[in-house]
Amino acid sequence: MKLDIRVKRIYEPPSPGDGQRVLIDRVWPRGVRKEDAALTLWLKTIAPSDELRKWFGHEPTRWMEFQQRYRGELDRNSEAVGQLRALLDNGRVTLLYGAQDDMHNNAVALADYLSLKG
């Protein structure tokens, strides 16, 4: 079964096609009011560790290694991954992130991880 995962910046307005909206950043994004976010869940425990996030610093040259390290963290975080999988069992999930780079961020890495693991 193909997972129905979307990735979207939290600064974009919610839409009916988002399904369940899950913020996966450890820190609340600046300038976003909680009531405007229309979240199903804020799953901060699935975010990269502070150490990994700071090391990565959204440097595209570190992207490949960031993905490997983050996958290792996810492999050891079965509880949070399980919570997300349970939501995916009920339909579309949109992973929300605050980073400016739409290609090199934890939501993209997490979506890839979930797709690979099935």
What is the rounded CA–CA span in Å between residue 34 and residue 36? 5
Q: 100, 94 in Cβ contact below 8 A?
A: no
pLDDT at 118: 67
Residue range 28-74, pLDDT digits in tens: 999 999 999 999 999 999 999 999 999 999 999 999 999 999 999 99
Structurally, the chain folds into a number of domains equal to: 1
Give the distance, in angstroms, between the CA of residue 108 and the centroid of all CA atoms in the same chain: 7
Say what the pTM is.
Answer: 0.94
Mean pLDDT throughout 63-91?
97
Q: What is the DSSP string of 5-72?
A: EEEEETTSPP-GGG-EEEE--SSPPTT--HHHH--SEE-GGGSPPHHHHHHHTT-GGGHHHHHHHHHH
Q: Which domain holds residue 99?
A: 5-117
User: What count of other Cβ atoms lies within 10 Å of the Cβ of residue 5?
Assistant: 19
